[in-house]
């Protein structure tokens, strides 16, 4: 479980790196899809059976997602508004 959580955190780091580079829609979509699949796997995990390290990693993942949302969402909204105005 810890390795899986570390992998999820690495995906978030890749998304953060992507945020600082030229936007490539396909890379962003691929990373986002991989992240979505990872997060869906955690739904069935019993929270009471998690170790302190796992709980800390999950907390870090949640913080990272919130941080990325604050960084990426305004850009996504801007891109969408340009797309809407072109159509």
- Give the count of domains, the chain: 1
Average pLDDT on 36-63 reads 82
Please tell me the predicted confidence (pLDDT) of residue 33.
85
Instruction: State how far the Cα of 74 lies from the Cα of 81, in Å rounded to an integer.
Output: 11
Domain that holds residue 64: 2-86
- Residue 82 pLDDT level (bands cut at 50, 70, 90): low
- Report how far residue 33's alpha carbon sits from residue 7's, in angstroms, rounded to the nearest whole number: 14
| Model confidence pLDDT, tens digit, residues 23-38 | 677 777 788 888 888 8
pLDDT of residue 86 exceeding 70: no
Mean pLDDT for the stretch of residues 26-55: 80
Average pLDDT over residues 50-74: 85
Say if residue 65's pLDDT is above 80: yes
């Amino acid at each position: 479980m810890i390795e899986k959580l570390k992998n999820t955190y690495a995906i978030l780091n890749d998304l953060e790196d992507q945020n600082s580079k030229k936007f490539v829609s396909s890379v962003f979509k691929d990373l986002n899809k991989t992240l979505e699949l990872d997060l869906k796997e955690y739904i069935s995990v019993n929270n009471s059976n998690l170790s302190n390290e796992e709980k800390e990693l999950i907390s870090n993942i949640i913080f990272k997602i919130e941080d990325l949302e604050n960084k990426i969402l305004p850009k996504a909204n801007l891109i969408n508004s340009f797309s809407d105005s072109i159509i």
